[in-house]
Chain A
Amino acid sequence: MKLTIEGETLELLPEHAVHWASTGILLISDLHWGKAETFQQHGIPVPASILETELERLSVLIERLAPSQVVILGDLIHSAQGTTREVAQTVARRLGQWTQGSHLKFTLILGNHDRKLDHLPASWPIETRTGPMLRGPFSFVHEPAEVPSDHYGFCGHLHPTVLLQGGHDRLRLPCFHVGRRFMVLPAFSHFTRGLIQSKAPGERVFAVAGPSVIEI
């Protein structure tokens, strides 16, 4: 699903990502790496294979689009204690594969979950920044409230979903919530469930329905 915002063409991907092809930027948000491990430490037996699956999904996307920069709109990790040595190693290995021999750069806009960690593991080649990142007409932030007034914003944090009701059917799907001043991306992680968003006038909602993105 392609959209034109501020004269730029952006593609909303069913992989819960936004591709800005002309600059080679891939936007993703709310990955929550180490969430399963956080649960495990609290005695909740959530499968450990979740992280691998999530990394594999990102891997496929990077391979297909070959972006020059992946911008993560916050909440890369879930918690400090969930970022275990095993998690750090697993992620570092993947990051190594993706960046090896390419100019691919990872940038993280720190989100509220990321701030629980003083710094990312040293083995992760990821640049971090606290404030908004500006690029052309756009700004990249974590929460909607951080969007600067003079740049159209891309953010995450809310894990938006939409509840569809029609006739006698009902479905809850992750969605891109496109407003006048900013767009909220769905959480990249499948191990999240977010708020149900309602649509205000002038806003557009694009739901991820299996392999396609459909405007609601």
Chain B
Amino acid sequence: MPIVWSASAGSSVPERHRESAIGRIETWFKRRDWDPFPFQREAWNASRSGRSGLIHVATGAGKTYAALMGPLSRMIDDLESRFPKLGLQLLYITPIKALSRDIESAILSTVNDLGLPFSVETRTGDTSAHRKARQKNRLPSVLITTPESLTLLLSHPESTRTFRNLHSIVVDEWHELLGTKRGVQLELALSRLRAMTPGISTWALTATLSHLEEAARAVAGTQTSSPPVILRSADFPPPLLRTLLPSGGAPPLPWAGRLGLSRLEDLLRELDPAQSTLIFTNTRFQAERWYREILETKPDFESILAIHHGSLDAAERERVERGLKAGSLKWVVATSSLDLGVDFGPVEKVLQIGSPKSIARVLQRAGRSGHRPGARSELVFVPTQSLELLEIDAVRRAILEKIIEPRPTLSAPLDVLTQHLVNCAAGPGFRPDELFEEVRGTWSYRALTRKEFDWVLKLVTEGGDLLGAYPEYHRVVLRHGRCEITDRRMAQLHRMNLGTLGSNSEIEVKFQRGKRLGTLEENYASRLKTGDRFIFAGRVLEVVRLAENSLHVKLSSGPLTQAPRWSGGRLPLSSTLSEALRSSMAAASAEGEGQAAGFSAEIKCLQPLLHLQAKLSHLPGAQELLAETCTTREGFHLFLYPFEGRLVHEGLASLLAYRIGKQSPTTFSLAANDYGIEFVSSDPLPYALLLGPLLFNPEHLDRDIQSSLNLGELSKRQFRDIARISGLVFRQYPGRFKSLRQVQSSASLLFDVFTDHDPGNLLLEQAKREVLEQNFERIRLQATLARMKASTLIVRAVQRPTPFGFPLMLERLSTRLSTETLASRIEKMKAHWTAAS
């Protein structure tokens, strides 16, 4: 049943009360000497008339009030009606659990100031069981929650009643969710709410986003009677971008490396104990190392220095956030965990160590400073290696041209749909025909076919095609046309494993007395031995023992024996930034003195390196593709520099290796970074062949990528998340269900089993598609190949790795791929293998 509603149907507010509610809010603003912005008033009106939409404004420009006051005014109007509504009316969804408390207090103080009798509460994974139980009876008038907690609420049979008075939903930081499976899951949850309670008005708040139409459609659904409203504040002033270049006399920036500790002295000069400063890094490991370095050099400032990242204990993170707000902490070394925030008020300076990675990230991080109206935000870059100067130059160009990364939405991921079907069945249950229409009403599943839906339905009710009518399979039961979960244990198992986030199991790090410090990945923690020393949470810790689910540690001062590691921390350069990077490169390599005058400080600083690259090899111009060959003790190297970003390079590397392999079987080692690709082989590589136009042929690209993928482990790796999200493997299960130990298995084993026994399984297809679309950005790969083919290929034989090639050599080894038979591969490995433990 399509959900159709009109503006008037969505609003139960009698006309004569409208003025009074908005009047109260206007008065409240006036008392504060605030004048509502035009976009705020527009948002109130649109929301009051039941419409949905998107508010796109800079951080701190008042989007929360824009979204809040419309729904609040409807709640005020309702107070005057004969039977005021009970329970939940406004749902506020934030992707970040840590922000929920700040939002709660902001909304609560507004409600109290206005003298309104509404209850405002939070419900997240951190909410106490006691409060959750109370909320189960009746939700507050305003509930702040996360996408996961909302999905969990929907998994209870009484949810239809819980949401019957809901009229407004606000989704904060929508750009954080858009294009992710979390976002897709939220879309599905929203579609469920709209079906339960027709006429809900949904608003997304976002900063730093392009493709606003699509973003608005995704949050409002495709079934709205009128198109979603898109509101923007006045133009964003672009942030100021500055770079800490090596000071006079200091050695130039290194050619490679990402940690950047050699920049410590320069960075310290930027720090002022009176100025609150965020020092952003790109990985948790980098944050830990920098924190220690700063602390060891400036021990006197320990009391104002702190570290913040996603693996630290929530209590510690909150302490840091409070300290930053209160002004007691001044210098905070952080990762993306502090990219977002309600308002950290007094942040005066933002530093970025290492590559900016994406334009959106630069805008987001710069936006952490200058929150006062009219103040312009600023970001100071601390490059860690030479070529990052080029990236900074590229970011500046892109921002001036108002270019920002698009967030492509995912198309119909079936793993998330599988979880949704089970979730609906655990809740009030569903009729397949109705749910199909409901799901089709979301942006992400607008093109879902009935065949795909039925496949998923069959998977959860009968275990798929291959189980036949297996009588004992009862995850979801179809009875009298309704799908339900009848086994309480199944429902509980589903709820414990709900969500689309992270698949790594974590080990808690704590002191012997019990104080929790945070978590480490199990893979890493299980390799630690008693007596090992590593840094974590800004401290040097010594392992006392590894217990069941926790690592007991004590403070130590001895030398480190281990570096903490987190997998998947490294972001590739965004494709939009890569494109800007190529323009910067072309501009920098353009000949002529007149040109140089217009160079940015970064490009001027990079000149000596570019000259060296030109001398040792070549500096590629706009229409050129550079390749270098080199022979070292390691073997025969080939470097290729498309400057397309790591993801495209990885895809390109596998594809080229596959196409070469079809002609002469050999094992390569491949490396890719944001600038290029390196091949190394112990056999002399057939370079002439490799670089021939044949390999850049975009024909049969899909087929060849598919074939090269089958050789790699990529789809198998991708399948890990898919298996978990669709409920094939469990991350957690209730301890008392002992029998579940018999069904512990790994996603990779299931992947093998499905590949052998059920090659048509759509979840396998999805794994392949995700690798193709997300990891390799297929469309770009095709464009890249076409561009490379049209370029002039310059091949240089070099004596040793050049400034471009050197970073690649150091980053070697992310992908293994072979076109040889198993036996000859093993024979070759025999030469130097180790049977590792």
Contacts of B746 in A (CB 8 A): 193
Are A170 and B837 also in contact (CB < 8 A) when A40-B463, A49-B466 are?
no
B473 contacts A45, C-beta separation under 8 Å:
yes
B467 contacts A40, C-beta separation under 8 Å:
yes
A166 contacts B831, C-beta separation under 8 Å:
yes
Contact of A171 (CB < 8 Å), options: B459, B473, B826: B826
Closest Cβ of chain B: how far from A165's Cβ, in Å? 5
Contacts of A209 in B (CB 8 A): 822-823, 826
A198 contacts B836, C-beta separation under 8 Å:
yes
CA A84 to CA B822, docked complex, whole Å? 38
Chain A, Cβ-Cβ closest to B726:
A45
Chain A, Cβ-Cβ closest to B464:
A45
B743 contacts A38, C-beta separation under 8 Å:
yes
Closest Cβ of chain A: how far from B88's Cβ, in Å? 31
Contacts of B669 in A (CB 8 A): 167-168
B757 contacts A50, C-beta separation under 8 Å:
yes
Check: B727 CB closer than 8 A to any chain A CB: yes
B835 contacts A167, C-beta separation under 8 Å:
no
Check: B319 CB closer than 8 A to any chain A CB: no
Contacts of B467 in A (CB 8 A): 40, 45, 47-48
A198 contacts B837, C-beta separation under 8 Å:
yes
CA A81 to CA B835, docked complex, whole Å? 38
Contact of B836 (CB < 8 Å), options: A47, A81, A165, A212: A165
Contacts of B475 in A (CB 8 A): 43, 45
CA A109 to CA B670, docked complex, whole Å? 48
Total contacts A-B at CB 8 Å: 138
Beta-carbon contacts of B676-688 to A below 8 Å, as 1s and 0s?
0000101000000
Are A47 and B753 also in contact (CB < 8 A) when A39-B745, A210-B822 are?
yes
CA A119 to CA B475, docked complex, whole Å? 29
Contacts of B837 in A (CB 8 A): 163, 196-198
Check: A199 CB closer than 8 A to any chain B CB: yes
Check: B834 CB closer than 8 A to any chain A CB: yes
Contact of A166 (CB < 8 Å), options: B468, B493, B743, B833: B833
Are A166 and B728 also in contact (CB < 8 A) when A40-B463, A193-B749, A205-B835 are?
no
Chain A, Cβ-Cβ closest to B815:
A168
CA A191 to CA B825, docked complex, whole Å? 25
Contact of B829 (CB < 8 Å), options: A50, A53, A167: A167
A45 contacts B742, C-beta separation under 8 Å:
no
Beta-carbon contacts of A88-99 to B below 8 Å, as 1s and 0s?
000000000000
Check: B754 CB closer than 8 A to any chain A CB: yes
B743 contacts A165, C-beta separation under 8 Å:
no
Beta-carbon contacts of A186-216 to B below 8 Å, as 1s and 0s?
0000111100111100000101011010101
Contacts of A169 in B (CB 8 A): 667, 816, 818, 825, 828-829
A168 contacts B680, C-beta separation under 8 Å:
yes
Contacts of A47 in B (CB 8 A): 464, 466-467, 753-754, 757-758
Q: Which residues 153-198 in A have Cβ within 8 Å of B in the complex?
A: 162-171, 190-193, 196-198
Contacts of A197 in B (CB 8 A): 837
A214 contacts B826, C-beta separation under 8 Å:
yes
Check: B690 CB closer than 8 A to any chain A CB: no
Contact of A45 (CB < 8 Å), options: B463, B749, B834: B463
Contact of A165 (CB < 8 Å), options: B466, B750, B829: B829
Check: B515 CB closer than 8 A to any chain A CB: no
Closest Cβ of chain A: how far from B734's Cβ, in Å? 13
CA A38 to CA B473, docked complex, whole Å? 10
Check: B470 CB closer than 8 A to any chain A CB: yes
Beta-carbon contacts of B488-499 to A below 8 Å, as 1s and 0s?
001001000000
B816 contacts A168, C-beta separation under 8 Å:
yes
Chain A, Cβ-Cβ closest to B821:
A210
B742 contacts A38, C-beta separation under 8 Å:
yes
Chain A, Cβ-Cβ closest to B669:
A168
B728 contacts A45, C-beta separation under 8 Å:
yes
Contacts of A164 in B (CB 8 A): 826, 829, 833, 835
Q: Which residues 20-51 in A have Cβ within 8 Å of B in the complex?
A: 35, 37-50
Check: B813 CB closer than 8 A to any chain A CB: yes
Contacts of B828 in A (CB 8 A): 166-167, 169
Q: Number of contacting residues on B, CB 8 A?
A: 55
Contacts of B833 in A (CB 8 A): 164-167, 216
Interface centre among A35, A43, A45, A198 (most CB of B within 10 A): A45
Check: A79 CB closer than 8 A to any chain B CB: yes
Are A48 and B749 also in contact (CB < 8 A) when A39-B743, A169-B818 are?
no
Closest Cβ of chain A: how far from B420's Cβ, in Å? 16
Contacts of B474 in A (CB 8 A): 43
Contacts of B728 in A (CB 8 A): 44-45
Check: A78 CB closer than 8 A to any chain B CB: yes
CA A32 to CA B464, docked complex, whole Å? 22
Q: Number of contacting residues on A, CB 8 A?
A: 46
Contact of A50 (CB < 8 Å), options: B668, B680, B753, B832: B753
B816 contacts A170, C-beta separation under 8 Å:
yes
Chain B, Cβ-Cβ closest to A48:
B467
A48 contacts B466, C-beta separation under 8 Å:
yes
CA A214 to CA B833, docked complex, whole Å? 14
Q: Which residues 748-800 in B have Cβ within 8 Å of A in the complex?
A: 748-750, 752-754, 756-758
Q: Which residues 692-735 in B have Cβ within 8 Å of A in the complex?
A: 727-729
B750 contacts A43, C-beta separation under 8 Å:
no
Chain B, Cβ-Cβ closest to A36:
B753
Beta-carbon contacts of B34-55 to A below 8 Å, as 1s and 0s?
0000000000000000000000
B745 contacts A193, C-beta separation under 8 Å:
yes
CA A198 to CA B836, docked complex, whole Å? 6
Chain A, Cβ-Cβ closest to B834:
A165
Contacts of B493 in A (CB 8 A): 43
Contacts of A42 in B (CB 8 A): 739-740, 742-743
Chain B, Cβ-Cβ closest to A195:
B837
Chain A, Cβ-Cβ closest to B466:
A47
Closest Cβ of chain B: how far from A116's Cβ, in Å? 9
CA A79 to CA B740, docked complex, whole Å? 11
Interface centre among A39, A79, A210 (most CB of B within 10 A): A39
Contacts of B813 in A (CB 8 A): 168
B823 contacts A210, C-beta separation under 8 Å:
yes
B743 contacts A44, C-beta separation under 8 Å:
yes
Check: B472 CB closer than 8 A to any chain A CB: yes
Check: B830 CB closer than 8 A to any chain A CB: yes
Contact of A163 (CB < 8 Å), options: B459, B667, B836: B836
Contacts of A50 in B (CB 8 A): 753, 757
Closest Cβ of chain B: how far from A122's Cβ, in Å? 21
Closest Cβ of chain B: how far from A188's Cβ, in Å? 15
Closest Cβ of chain B: how far from A67's Cβ, in Å? 26
CA A166 to CA B835, docked complex, whole Å? 9
Are A48 and B470 also in contact (CB < 8 A) when A165-B829, A166-B828, A193-B745 are?
yes
Closest Cβ of chain B: how far from A176's Cβ, in Å? 13
B825 contacts A214, C-beta separation under 8 Å:
no
CA A207 to CA B833, docked complex, whole Å? 14
Are A212 and B823 also in contact (CB < 8 A) when A169-B816, A169-B829, A191-B753 are?
yes
CA A46 to CA B464, docked complex, whole Å? 9
Chain B, Cβ-Cβ closest to A43:
B475
A-B contact pairs, 26 of them (CB 8 A): A39-B745, A40-B467, A41-B473, A44-B743, A45-B459, A45-B463, A45-B728, A47-B464, A47-B754, A47-B757, A50-B753, A79-B742, A164-B826, A165-B833, A165-B836, A167-B829, A171-B822, A193-B745, A196-B836, A196-B837, A197-B837, A205-B835, A207-B826, A209-B826, A210-B822, A216-B835
B binding-site residues for A, Cβ under 8 Å:
459, 463-464, 466-468, 470, 472-475, 490, 493, 667-669, 680, 682, 727-729, 739-740, 742-743, 745-746, 748-750, 752-754, 756-758, 812-813, 816, 818, 821-823, 825-826, 828-837
Instruction: Name 13 extra pairs, CB < 8 A, besides A43-B475, A169-B818, A209-B826.
Output: A39-B745, A42-B742, A45-B473, A46-B750, A47-B466, A82-B742, A164-B833, A167-B831, A168-B680, A168-B812, A169-B667, A171-B826, A209-B823
Ranked nearest first, the 5 interchain pairs of A and B with the lowest CB-CB distance are A166-B829, A198-B837, A43-B475, A166-B833, A168-B669
